[in-house]
């Protein structure tokens, strides 16, 4: 009998996460910031899409034709359910990479994305992916790939190996992966309590273990307990991808582009003395102790001239996706927490506080009397987008075409929220991506769709759904026992939702 799982955890579903870096819409600003030509994405593919939430959100919120595969049939089944609900025609399969790569009905792709999966598969599967990218990524097309990175994982790798061995050797197969994970964590904690020389030589291991214990066990199963687990140096990744004929373009994590919050002046000067750009990336990873890279690679990098770059940057539309008063002027980079300049950021945020889309050029013109240069506006857009406060906006014709699909998908997701809190995102045709909307907020939207206008009515409607399932709210660690307490808390949440989130959801055309 063949092992269709290939050593990957399959007895527990992956989390219903949404990963904004997989949104092709985000490529534009990152490439423009580097002065690179970016493709218009008509066809896209996600390899190893998990539950398929990201793939379906991006298919629904765009006019892009999406394909993808995930070897787990239950996850692929859920992904296909979402695709049918939204009517996008996304082609999502449950095939192994080798089988998917051999399909004769796949188009060539402008964009291929893999989130995390690279770190958890065998070299054989990596080679299949590299060959697929070489054959199916168009000239000028973009590859997004994220992976666990060395040197950041070097200290914890032995502890991870010990825990997976414990789960395999001492864990009881019949008790399931969650029980085996809990047993492995408990064993590791007791081991560190004996103060072994390993933890004395690697003092941060204990902190990493504490953070692990806080995570969802479904996440831990897929992140740590697969048979294959291979953090990789950037240079090793470059060697692998050389066969796919792609070049490193830039980080997909916008904050990586802002050196002042990641590197000291001495480190920046040291890096400038490194002549080879690829070796410079490897060196930089040591400076920030990189644990996880999110990168864009391109098949044939081409530079924009200065005029083309400036015009395209000024034409890029953005929208504020956080309530203005809730935007913190602090950002956390590799060096720790840093303060954004209020003189630069406050006028930009005030201008965008109406949640209407504006181009960077319009922002420049509106603030020209404030002495804010276009370079500062571009950097602010990168920082605020990285922090989740800003999003890039699609063309109007794309928004109009996508809205029918996002309405269908969002209605389906909101209906699912009646029975669970698994999915905390809805799709926006404005941004081409997902937006965080928690379970109660999704249920408020159902109530609004039924014609109820007042927050108290929304709260009452939601409480009826919860009470019928014997569910109660928890506030500050304490379960609210009475109907009155629950409705009071729900009404307060509904009022805040009406004042802060609802205007944003309307601007993003989610409502």
Q: Residue 339 corresponds to which tokens in the numbers above?
A: 């303060």
Tell me how far CA of residue 319 lies from CA of 145, 350, 385, 392, in angstroms: 26, 12, 10, 7
pLDDT above 50 (res 2): no
Once rounded to an integer, what is the mean pLDDT over residues 242-254? 96
Residue 175: per-residue pLDDT: 60
Q: Could you give all domains of the chain from N- to C-terminal order, each with its CATH number?
A: 20-149+230-298 (3.40.50.150), 157-224 (no CATH), 317-392 (3.90.930), 437-507 (no CATH)
Residue 14: per-residue pLDDT: 62
Q: What are the pLDDT digits (tens) for 434-484?
A: 999 999 999 999 999 999 999 999 999 999 999 999 998 888 888 888 999
Q: What are the pLDDT digits (tens) for 413-435?
A: 999 999 999 999 999 999 999 99
Q: Is 175 exposed, middle or buried (0-12, 13-18, 19+ CB in 10 A)?
A: exposed
Candidates 3, 245, 254, 25; CA nearest to 124 is: 3
Once rounded to an integer, what is the mean pLDDT over residues 165-182? 71
- pLDDT level of residue 228 (50, 70, 90 thresholds): low
The rounded distance, in Å, linking the Cα atoms of 102 and 95 is: 10
Asked if 98 and 77 count as a contact pair (C-beta separation under 8 A), the reply is no
Candidates 453, 464, 460, 469; CA nearest to 489 is: 460
Structure-token match 């590299």, residue found: 130
Q: Which of 13-22, 220-229, 297-306, 393-402 has the lowest mean pLDDT?
A: 220-229
pLDDT above 70 (res 79): yes
Residue 9: per-residue pLDDT: 46
Contacts within 8 Å (CB) and 24+ apart, 451-458: 455/491, 455/494, 455/495, 455/497, 455/498, 456/491, 456/494, 458/490, 458/494, 458/497
Structure-token match 């007791």, residue found: 190
pLDDT above 80 (res 190): yes
The rounded distance, in Å, linking the Cα atoms of 434 and 428 is: 6
Q: What are the pLDDT digits (tens) for 379-410?
A: 999 999 999 999 999 999 999 999 999 999 99
pLDDT above 60 (res 6): no
């Amino acid at each position: 009998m063949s092992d269709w799982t290939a050593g990957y955890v399959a007895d527990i579903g992956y989390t219903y996460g949404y990963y904004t870096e997989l949104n092709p819409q985000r490529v534009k600003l990152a490439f423009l910031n580097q002065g690179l030509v970016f493709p218009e994405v008509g066809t896209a593919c996600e390899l190893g899409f998990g539950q398929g939430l990201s793939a379906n959100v991006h298919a629904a919120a765009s006019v892009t034709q999406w394909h993808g595969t995930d070897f787990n049939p239950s996850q692929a089944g859920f992904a296909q359910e979402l695709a049918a609900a939204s009517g996008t025609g996304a082609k999502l399969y449950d095939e192994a990479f080798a089988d998917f790569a051999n399909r004769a009905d796949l188009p060539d792709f402008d964009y291929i994305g893999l989130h995390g999966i690279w770190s958890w598969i065998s070299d054989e599967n990596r080679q299949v992916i590299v060959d697929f990218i070489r054959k199916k990524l168009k000239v000028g097309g973009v590859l997004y790939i994220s992976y666990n990175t060395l040197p950041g994982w070097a200290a914890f790798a032995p502890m991870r190996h010990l825990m997976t061995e414990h789960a395999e050797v001492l864990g009881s197969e019949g008790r399931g992966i969650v029980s085996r994970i809990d047993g492995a964590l408990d064993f590791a904690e007791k081991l560190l309590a004996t103060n072994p020389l390993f933890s004395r030589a690697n003092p941060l291991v204990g902190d990493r273990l504490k953070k692990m214990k806080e995570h969802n066990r479904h996440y831990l199963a897929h992140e740590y307990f697969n048979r294959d687990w291979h953090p990789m140096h950037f240079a090793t990744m470059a060697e692998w991808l050389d066969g796919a004929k792609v070049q490193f373009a830039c980080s997909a994590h916008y904050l990586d582009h802002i050196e002042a919050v990641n590197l000291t002046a001495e480190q920046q000067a040291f890096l400038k003395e490194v002549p080879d750009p690829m070796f410079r990336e490897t060196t930089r990873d040591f400076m920030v102790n990189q644990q996880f890279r999110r990168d864009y690679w391109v098949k044939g990098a081409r530079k924009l001239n200065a005029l083309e770059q400036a015009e395209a940057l000024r034409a890029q539309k953005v929208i504020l996706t956080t309530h203005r008063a809730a935007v913190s002027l602090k950002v956390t980079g590799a060096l720790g927490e840093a303060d954004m300049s209020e003189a630069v950021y406050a006028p930009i945020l005030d201008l965008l506080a109406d949640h209407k889309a504006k181009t960077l050029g319009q922002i420049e013109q509106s603030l020209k009397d404030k002495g804010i240069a276009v370079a500062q506006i571009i950097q602010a857009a990168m920082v605020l987008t990285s922090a989740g406060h800003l999003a890039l906006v699609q063309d109007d014709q794309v928004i109009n075409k996508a809205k029918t699909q996002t309405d269908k998908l969002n209605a389906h997701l909101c209906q699912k929220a009646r029975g669970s809190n698994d999915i905390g995102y809805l799709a926006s045709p404005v941004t081409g991506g997902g937006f965080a909307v928690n379970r109660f907020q999704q249920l408020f939207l159902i109530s609004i769709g039924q014609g109820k206008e007042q927050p108290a009515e929304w709260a009452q409607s939601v409480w009826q759904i919860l009470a019928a399932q014997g569910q109660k709210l928890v506030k500050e660690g304490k379960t609210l026992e009475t109907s009155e307490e629950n409705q009071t808390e729900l009404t307060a949440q509904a009022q805040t939702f009406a004042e802060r989130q609802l205007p944003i959801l309307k601007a993003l055309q989610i409502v």
